[in-house]
Amino acid sequence: MNLTGVELRRIAMPLVSPFRTSFGTQTSRDALLLRVVTDKAEGWGECVAMADPLYSSEYVDAAADVLTRFLVPALAASDALDAHAVAGLLAPFKGHRMAKAALEMGVLDAELRAEGRSFARELGAVHDRVPCGVSVGIMDSIPELLDAVGGYLDEGYARIKLKIEPGWDVEPVRAVRERYGDVLLQVDANTAYTLADARHLARLDPFDLLLIEQPLEEEDVLGHADLARHLRTPVCLDESIVSAQSAAAAIRLGACAIVNIKPGRVGGYLEARRIHDLCVANGVPVWCGGMLETGLGRAANVALAALPGFTLPGDTSASGRYYRTDVTVPFVLDHGHLAVPTGPGLGVVPLEDELAAVTTATTWLAV
C-alpha cells in the first residue's frame, strides 16, 4: 500500500450539555480527523487531543503541526506502507502519542478496508456487543447530579462514573448510593488530589466503588502505589498509562489494580492491544476509556472493548451522550450495550453532509 496523501480535517462539535471535570468545563469538542489516502483504499483516523493541554500535554494545534511537519512526511519516505510498521517509523519523534495514534489508526483503517477485515477481527474481539458505562460531570448541585444519573440509568447504562474533585466527592457518591442503591459506580479525579488527601479519599471506601481513577498527578506512579495501601477502593490509572512499558511498571510497583485503556493516549490501537495482553497476563482488569470521540473513534473503541480482558464496562457511551448529531451513523445504546461494527476497517464512514457541517478547516498534505 502506498501513501498518496493525508487530509487534516478540523471539526468543531457542540456538546449536548457542558461537561465539567477537575480540569475545566467543555461545551464543545474541537477535534482533528485524518483522511489517509492510499493507492488501495482510504482510511480515517481521529486524534483525541483536546483544544487545550489540560488532560495531557497534547493539544489539537500541536497535533496538527507535528503531523504536518514530522509524522506524515516520515511515512511518505517509506515505500510499502504497513500499519504495523507505522509506530516504528514514527518512533524517532518523541511523544505526541495522540497525533501518532490518529495517523496509525488511519493507515490501519485503509489497510483493513483494502483487505476486507474489521478492526474487531484485527484486534481479536471475542464479543459482538459490549456493555457501556457513562461518565457524569461535576454538577452545580446534588439534585442536578441525581437527575442526570437517573436519566442515564433510564437509558440503560451499565455503570456510572462520577467526576470528582476536592469539595465534590464524598457527598455526591453518598447521594448516588442512597438514591440508586448498588448500581455499578466508580469515580474519576483526573489527577485532582495529592497523597495528603489519602485519609479523605478513604472516606469513599464504605461506598463499594468499583475503582477510583487517577487520583494523583500523571507522573506520580509511586504516590499511587502508596495511596493504594491506604484505600480499600481499587486504584485505576488513566493519564499515567501512556504505553505498555509504563503499564508494566505501574503494575509491578502496585500503583494500579485496574487500567483504563485509551488508544489515543497510548499511541494507537496496536499498543492498546499490547497493554490489554500485558494486563490480562498480570490478572489486571481493563476497560476502554473515552475522549469524547466522534463515531469514527467510537467505532474503533467499541471493537477494542470486545477483547476478552475488557471485563469492566467502559466509557464507550452512545453518540447521544455528547452530540446531538454525530459525523457517522450514531451509536445507540441497546439494553445497555453497543454493537461491535462488523464491516471492513472501522465499519463506519463519515456522513458527508454531517461532516461538512462541523468542518472548520481542511488541509491536504501531499506526499
Residues with catalytic function: 163, 262
Q: Shortest distance, CB of residue 56 to Mg ion, whole angstroms?
A: 11
Given Mg ion, ligand NPQ, none, residue 21, with its beta carbon under 5 to 8 Å by kind, binds ligand NPQ
Query: Between residue 223 and residue 242, which ones bind ligand NPQ under the rule CB under 6 A?
Result: 238
How many binding residues for ligand NPQ (CB under 6 A)? 15
Q: Residue 268 in contact with residue 104, Cβ under 8 Å?
A: yes
Q: Shortest distance, CB of residue 133 to ligand NPQ, whole angstroms?
A: 9
Q: How would you class 39 by CB atoms within 10 Å of its CB: exposed for 0-12, middle for 13-18, buried for 19 or more?
A: exposed
Interacting residue with Mg ion among 122, 188, 218, 293 (CB under 5 A):
188
Tell whether residue 46 is a contact of ligand NPQ (CB under 6 A).
no
Q: Shortest distance, CB of residue 307 to ligand NPQ, whole angstroms?
A: 19
Interacting residue with ligand NPQ among 45, 215, 263, 290 (CB under 6 A):
290
Instruction: Give the range of 143-151, 184-192, 275-283, 304-312 binding Mg ion by CB under 5 A.
Output: 184-192
**Residue 193 to residue 220: CA distance in whole angstroms:** 11
Residue nearer to ligand NPQ on the CB measure, 75 or 318: 318
Tell whether residue 98 is a contact of ligand NPQ (CB under 6 A).
no
Given Mg ion, ligand NPQ, none, residue 296, with its beta carbon under 5 to 8 Å by kind, binds none
Q: Residue 102 in contact with residue 75, Cβ under 8 Å?
A: no
Residue nearer to Mg ion on the CB measure, 38 or 56: 56
Residue nearest to ligand NPQ (CB): 135
Residue nearer to Mg ion on the CB measure, 58 or 238: 238
Tell whether residue 238 is a contact of Mg ion (CB under 5 A).
yes
List residues bridging with 51 in a β-sheet: none
Q: Residue 128 in contact with residue 155, Cβ under 8 Å?
A: no
Q: C-alpha cell of 350?
A: 463519515
Q: Residue 58 in contact with residue 174, Cβ under 8 Å?
A: no
Instruction: Give the range of 18-26, 87-95, 196-204, 274-282 binding ligand NPQ by CB under 6 A.
Output: 18-26
Query: Between residue 133 and residue 192, which ones bind ligand NPQ under the rule CB under 6 A?
Result: 135, 188, 190
Sheet holding 258-261, edge to edge: 133-136, 159-163, 185-188, 212-213, 235-237, 258-261, 286-288
Residue nearer to Mg ion on the CB measure, 109 or 238: 238
How many binding residues for Mg ion (CB under 5 A)? 3
Q: Shortest distance, CB of residue 84 to ligand NPQ, whole angstroms?
A: 27
Residue nearer to ligand NPQ on the CB measure, 263 or 345: 263
Q: Residue 240 in contact with residue 246, Cβ under 8 Å?
A: yes
Given ligand NPQ, Mg ion, none, residue 38, with its beta carbon under 5 to 8 Å by kind, binds none
Instruction: Give the range of 120-128, 139-147, 232-240, 244-252 binding Mg ion by CB under 5 A.
Output: 232-240
Residue nearer to ligand NPQ on the CB measure, 90 or 164: 164
Interacting residue with ligand NPQ among 3, 6, 50, 187 (CB under 6 A):
50
Interface with Mg ion (CB under 5 A): 188, 213, 238
The residues binding ligand NPQ (CB under 6 A) are: 19, 21, 26, 29, 50, 55, 135, 188, 190, 238, 289-292, 315
